[in-house]
Amino acid sequence: QQPVQSPQAVILREGEDAVINCSSSKALYSVHWYRQKHGEAPVFLMILLKGGEQKGHEKISASFNEKKQQSSLYLTASQLSYSGTYFCGTELRSGNTPLVFGKGTRLSVIA
């Protein structure tokens, strides 16, 4: 049930864009995106519910394609502070259920 994330790692220069994908073989109810910096707990970025919605927060946005059971996280005009490991967590149904996380995508932004 673990979602599959791609790419595994990416290196960007400041100002460049990146896309991180998260896909599931099962029908999803929701997709949650987190960023984790070394030695720290994951920080919540955003959540997408089934219905194909798209959300954005400043230069970070995400979409959820219900037909493909795939979510994508878009990072535009990347900043040094964007560096970290990005995880998607998925839920198969509504309710107080735990998230199942992908293996993560390590993003490094260099000057």
Partner 1 sequence: GAVVSQHPSWVICKSGTSVKIECRSLDFQATTMFWYRQFPKKSLMLMATSNEGSKATYEQGVEKDKFLINHASLTLSTLTVTSAHPEDSSFYICSARDRIQGGIEQFFGPGTRLTVL
Residues in contact with partner 1 by the rule CB under 8 A: 2, 30, 32, 34, 39-44, 47, 49, 87, 89, 96, 98-104
Q: Could you tell me the smallest distance in angstroms from the CB atom of residue 78 to partner 1?
A: 21
What are the residues facing 4 on neighbouring strands? Answer: 23
CB nearer to partner 1: give 35 or 69: 35
Look up residue 35 and give its two tokens: 């960023």
CB nearer to partner 1: give 10 or 104: 104
> DSSP label at 66?
T
* Dist CA 41 CA 7 (whole Å): 21
Q: What radius of gyration, in Å, describes the C-alpha atoms of the chain?
A: 13
Q: Could you tell me the smallest distance in angstroms from the CB atom of residue 33 to partner 1?
A: 11
